[in-house]
Structure 1
Amino acid sequence: MDQGNTAFILIAAALVLLMTPGLAFFYGGLVKAKSVISMMMMSFGALGLIGVLWVLYGYAIAFPGSSGTLAPWSIDGGALGLTNVLELTEGADYPTLAFVAFQATFAILTVALVSGAIADRAKFGAWMIFAGVWATVVYFPVASWVFNFGLGDDGSFAYGGWITHGLQDVFGVGAIDFAGGTAVHINAGAAALALALVLGKRVGFQKGVHVPHNPPFVLLGAGLLWFGWFGFNAGSELAADNTAALAFVNTIAAPAAALLAWLLVEKIKDGKPTSVGAASGAVAGLVAITPACGNLDPVWAIVLGLIAGAVCALAIELKYKLGFDDSLDVVGIHLVGGLIGTLYLGFFARDTGLFMGGDASQLIVQAIAAVAVLAYSFVLAFVIGFAIEKTIGFRVKNEDEIAGIDTIVHGEAGYVLEDAKA
């Protein structure tokens, strides 16, 4: 066992786990003051629920490769409850449990990301039901499509499900998703769009009405996310080597460029660069570089960041033009940013990109991967959300939304002044 790589993976897992509380602060600062507890609780609720489901059966669905298969839908019965991964595999570089822990944090964060689309108006219990069902039928299988490992058709050990390894058998190159552009960001963004349509618009929804109540929270959350993202991206190499170092550098370069691009768009469009814009731009760059961090030269990572920051800054306006209420711009940042980063690899991936010595094959497989995950996640999220809304109800009453749902749903207030209690 390589103790250095084992420590690297465990530290990366801890960094990624920190991203979910970071997301809670990022999202919490963006909502109104009377909904901050509700918003942050959806992230912490996902942390608790998905953490348990991952151990019970999530890993067995996402990584059935331990039974030697790369099939897109299967389950490893021996991995239920992690029973067959407790011992160290002879000759392995790191314990399987370290990998289990690392991938658990991905599952938790992906589910939490979806909650931003339904801020200010969702029941906590309904959200928890959605989170559990969606993780089971969408995230766990999609993670298998991208990250699974097992025996290929020729009997050799292979990484990747049908999106990565399977497409390679057909097109000569597999889709590249180094750390989760499809499995995490396109997946969560598509589900967020579906839920926004199911729950409908907030009361009084229009541009300029719902403003962030705490920009410092947003900046704190963005900082924690960026910090944790180094584990997310570099850790996905599963080894402390040169590729991990490349992913680390690109995780600096792309979001830094995206931050600048977003601020420039704000200055041109609205006359003032904002702190929320800086935080959102950084996150947009982080999203875009996620699938590409191990396969781009740093200069091309900067270009990707500039494109993602500018396009996502414009994309968040789509909800006003198209009439859907994606409260915290999960669609504009995660879905759009994930699509940009995934498709960008078709042009600029090292050795295989269209402009880097390859042909159109890389772009084709990137597009197939993006569309497949988007469609699968959107349709099932819509069906799950619609079923919950029509049975137990997903949305709070309008009067509760107007009053602020923290006290209604959780019996707490985010801010209690001493003189107000007297």
Structure 2
Amino acid sequence: MSTNTNIIDRKANFGLLMGGVAILASLGMVDLAYAQDAAQAIVPKIEPSVNKGDTSWMLVSTIMVLLMILPGLALFYGGLVRAKNMLSMLMQVSAVTAIGMIAYIFWGYTLSFTDGGGANMFIGGTSKLFLKGVDVTKMVETFSPNVMLPEYVWIAFQMTFACITAALVLGGLAERIKFAAVCAFAVLWPLLSYYPMAHMVWWWAGATSAIGQSADDLVKGAGMIWGWGALDFAGGTVVHINAGIAALVGCIILGKRESYRNEPIAPHSLTLTFVGAGLLWVGWFGFNAGSNLEANGYAALAMMNTLVATAAAGMSWAVTEWVISKRPSMLGFASGVVAGLVAITPAAGFAGPVGAVVLGLIVSPICIIFCAKVKSALKYDDSLDAFGIHGVGGMIGAIATGILVSPALGGTGMVDFSKCDPSACGAYDYDMLAQVIIQLKAVGVAVVWSAIASIITFSAIKYTIGLKVDQDTEEEGLDIAEHGERAYHL
């Protein structure tokens, strides 16, 4: 009995021992499983997220672009007109801006930055009319994969671009256009010209969507000019050529001021014009550097180029005047500042600083020729030289971008967005002649599109509500005749 009992006890103890081992083993497996899960949790999947630093920068940039318009452009233009038209200039710029903001959230945004289906090469669709589907949770992509901005920030930033483009056109129409015609223009012209141009030049699928896609696939979903590979960092074609051509067409259809005799009419306050030019220069950092959408080295490059190109162009205009007329003028320096800002706009994030200086030195003498000689020879009344500075300066900048982007000239080179993940994004082989040809094509489309859209716009207004004030109103001044106020009581 005792032997059998010992055997039974040993078997029982062995069973208990093996059971304990089994329990410990099972617990170990559970711990191992938890450890594996924890290890997987340490390397989470990268999800798109809003970058707070970039968002803050874009909020500031949006405010800076608004500063360019109100009061920057309003004062710049206001100082250039005669005293009797000062308030009308302020009112026109303000009205175009206000109307442009409302129109942009109603239909401008969706026509600029959504997929246009069968017409996608030229214009967006209607999926976001009245900002349908946009709320505080919605995001849009920057130029880096999975780096996002709140969609409202993107909309507000692009809204200010639409507003300033339409406001620039007023420089060619100053001192004789009806206020009602200005309001009609603010609705109709962006619909026909600005929104399609913005879509053609800037609409594409985005950096994350581009990863792994072929170049052909990228082009299929992009605006026509973007698909060509044209470079326009901040709006040489979309803003300046577009506005400059519209100003030229508008001033021809509108007709000359009654007092215009192919000689410049003296500005009433160069002090205000200087203040306006200064505000434009400061605000333009938001315009150019903000167009990078991220606060990084490319934004810093755009800021640097905006500084030095503008400085070079201001001095180039003044020195050219000094050589021709023996006196450098403040108006000339201010005009050169704006010409430099215009020219560097398409190249701001592509050119090197030395290239930006060269561009600034070149653009001013060419703009002087158009503002003085060409305008006088062709006898059109571009009141404040909107075409001579913005149209011509925009063309020079857009074409020069194809040259100055060259790494051999200090430029950034060009990025292959079909390989644009963080480890593979880089410059590809650059062909200067091919790129310049692409830039010329983009300029040609911008000129033709804006001209046709502007002819339709101004003709429609002229033959409905009328464009031009009568002679008595022009002689009295638009301040009193159209708004019942005076800028000055002296």
TM-score where L is the length of structure 1: 0.92
What corresponds to 1:337 in structure 2?
A: 393
Q: d(CA) in 2 for partners of 1:237 and 1:63?
A: 17
Q: Which has the larger radius of gyration?
A: 2
Q: Is the 8 A contact 1:352 1:359 kept in 2?
A: no
Provide closer, same or farther for how the CA distance between residues 159 and 341 of structure 1 changes in structure 2, counting only shifts above 3 A: farther
Aligned-residue offset at 1:89: 4.0
- Say whether residues 1:322 and 2:378 are aligned partners: yes
Task: Please identify, of 69-78 and 408-417, the stretch whose mean Cα deviation from structure 2 is larger.
Answer: 69-78
Select which of 427, 431, 442 maps to 1:369.
Answer: 442
Q: d(CA) in 1 for partners of 2:450 and 2:268?
A: 31
What corresponds to 2:362 in structure 1?
A: 307
Provide closer, same or farther for how the CA distance between residues 159 and 47 of structure 1 changes in structure 2, counting only shifts above 3 A: farther
Question: Number of aligned pairs?
Answer: 409
Tell me the SS of whatever aligns to 1:406. Answer: helix
Select which of 288, 291, 307 maps to 1:233.
Answer: 288
Aligned-residue offset at 1:223: 0.6
Q: d(CA) in 2 for partners of 1:188 and 1:52?
A: 20
Q: Is the 8 A contact 1:347 1:354 kept in 2?
A: no
Task: Please identify, of 120-129 and 90-99, the stretch whose mean Cα deviation from structure 2 is larger.
Answer: 90-99
Q: Is the 8 A contact 1:304 1:344 kept in 2?
A: yes
- Say whether residues 1:183 and 2:232 are aligned partners: no
Aligned-residue offset at 1:159: 9.0
Q: d(CA) in 1 for partners of 2:280 and 2:406?
A: 27
What corresponds to 1:49 in structure 2?
A: 99
What corresponds to 1:116 in structure 2?
A: 171
What corresponds to 1:18 in structure 2?
A: 67
- Say whether residues 1:33 and 2:63 are aligned partners: no
Provide closer, same or farther for how the CA distance between residues 108 and 158 of structure 1 changes in structure 2, counting only shifts above 3 A: farther
Q: Is the 8 A contact 1:353 1:363 kept in 2?
A: no
Q: Is the 8 A contact 1:312 1:333 kept in 2?
A: yes
CA RMSD of aligned residues (A): 2.2
Q: Is the 8 A contact 2:117 2:125 kept in 1?
A: no
Q: Is the 8 A contact 2:120 2:221 kept in 1?
A: no
The one-letter amino acid paired with 1:78 is S
What corresponds to 2:456 in structure 1?
A: 383
Tell me the SS of whatever aligns to 1:414. Answer: coil
Q: d(CA) in 1 for partners of 2:379 and 2:452?
A: 19
Q: d(CA) in 1 for partners of 2:220 and 2:283?
A: 28
1:250-329 → structure 2 map (5 Å cutoff): 250-317=305-372, 318-329=374-385
- Say whether residues 1:411 and 2:484 are aligned partners: yes
Q: d(CA) in 1 for partners of 2:114 and 2:457?
A: 25
Spell out, residue by residue over 1:269-295, the C-alpha distance to the aligned partner (whole angstroms, 9 max, x if none).
222111111111000000000000011
Q: d(CA) in 1 for partners of 2:249 and 2:437?
A: 26
Q: Is the 8 A contact 1:9 1:102 kept in 2?
A: yes
Q: Is the 8 A contact 1:64 1:70 kept in 2?
A: no
Q: Is the 8 A contact 2:122 2:197 kept in 1?
A: no
Select which of 67, 77, 81 maps to 2:130.
Answer: 81
Task: Please identify, of 351-360 and 43-52, the stretch whose mean Cα deviation from structure 2 is larger.
Answer: 351-360
The one-letter amino acid paired with 1:73 is F
Aligned-residue offset at 1:70: 8.6
Q: d(CA) in 1 for partners of 2:273 and 2:118?
A: 42
The one-letter amino acid paired with 1:210 is I
Aligned-residue offset at 1:145: 0.7
The one-letter amino acid paired with 2:479 is D
The one-letter amino acid paired with 2:231 is I
Q: Is the 8 A contact 1:194 1:379 kept in 2?
A: no
Task: Please identify, of 318-327 and 343-352, the stretch whose mean Cα deviation from structure 2 is larger.
Answer: 343-352
Select which of 465, 476, 485 maps to 1:392.
Answer: 465
Aligned-residue offset at 1:92: 5.0
Provide closer, same or farther for how the CA distance between residues 397 and 68 of structure 1 changes in structure 2, counting only shifts above 3 A: closer
Select which of 159, 184, 192 maps to 1:129.
Answer: 184
Q: d(CA) in 2 for partners of 1:328 and 1:106?
A: 20
5+ residue gaps, structure 2, are 1-49, 140-145, 414-429
Tell me the SS of whatever aligns to 1:93. Answer: strand
Aligned-residue offset at 1:345: 1.7
What corresponds to 1:348 in structure 2?
A: 404
5+ residue gaps, structure 1, are 168-173, 418-422
Aligned-residue offset at 1:346: 2.4
Tell me the SS of whatever aligns to 2:148. Answer: coil
TM-score where L is the length of structure 2: 0.80
Tell me the SS of whatever aligns to 2:380. Answer: coil
Task: Please identify, of 51-60 and 68-77, the stretch whose mean Cα deviation from structure 2 is larger.
Answer: 68-77
Spell out, residue by residue over 1:365-406, the C-alpha distance to the aligned partner (whole angstroms, 9 max, x if none).
100101101111112212221221122210001121122111
Q: d(CA) in 1 for partners of 2:442 and 2:124?
A: 21
> Identity across aligned pairs (percent)?
41
Q: d(CA) in 1 for partners of 2:359 and 2:315?
A: 12
Q: d(CA) in 2 for partners of 1:128 and 1:236?
A: 28
Aligned-residue offset at 1:87: 3.7
Task: Please identify, of 86-95 and 270-279, the stretch whose mean Cα deviation from structure 2 is larger.
Answer: 86-95
Q: Is the 8 A contact 1:353 1:359 kept in 2?
A: no
Provide closer, same or farther for how the CA distance between residues 196 and 70 of structure 1 changes in structure 2, counting only shifts above 3 A: same
What corresponds to 1:61 in structure 2?
A: 111
Tell me the SS of whatever aligns to 1:42. Answer: helix
Q: d(CA) in 2 for partners of 1:72 and 1:106?
A: 21
Provide closer, same or farther for how the CA distance between residues 379 and 74 of structure 1 changes in structure 2, counting only shifts above 3 A: closer
What corresponds to 2:255 in structure 1?
A: 200
Provide closer, same or farther for how the CA distance between residues 278 and 160 of structure 1 changes in structure 2, counting only shifts above 3 A: farther
Provide closer, same or farther for how the CA distance between residues 112 and 216 of structure 1 changes in structure 2, counting only shifts above 3 A: same
Select which of 50, 53, 64 maps to 1:4.
Answer: 53
